Amino acid sequence: MAEKNCVFCRIVLGELKSEKVAESNSFIAIRDINPKVDGHTLVIPKKHFVTLLDIPNNLGREMLEFTKKVAWDLMNEKKGDGFNLAMNNLEVAGQEVMHAHIHILPRKEGDGVKVL
């Protein structure tokens, strides 16, 4: 179910432009519009869920498999030699868009990016 004012739901519906890098029946992966590093990618469920806790377990497993595929693709594209995964859940934890999503941050030696 889509939320009419949710930016990610509007991207999923094709109402807003994005740089889509992968898609499955349940998820899309797009480039972050404000990337922290080259290749910064978001994995987004096509259905609207606010946090990880709202995603059904079977879909959570599928999300992990899809995220792994996208991370492998980023590594194969030489976007990084490693990667971080990040997921902010609710405002107090830094979630800005209230639609569950995972950040994949490709990393290169000496890139100076601090995560946790």
* Within-domain flag for 69: yes
Q: Decide if 103 is catalytic.
A: no
To the question of pTM greater than 0.85 for the whole model, the response is yes
| Domain annotation covers residue 114 | no
In the set 40, 99, 101, 103, the catalytic residue is: 101
Give a yes or no: residue 113 inside a domain. no
**H-only helix segments in the chain:** 7-12, 57-76
- For 99, the domain range is 7-107
Domain assignment present for 116:
no
Q: What is the CATH number of the domain that holds 56?
A: 3.30.428.10
Number of domains in the chain: 1
Q: Is the pLDDT of residue 116 over 80?
A: no
pLDDT digits (tens, 9 = 90+) for 13-57: 999 999 999 999 999 999 999 999 999 999 999 999 999 999 999
Q: Name the nearest CA neighbour of 39 among 89, 94, 103, 98.
A: 103
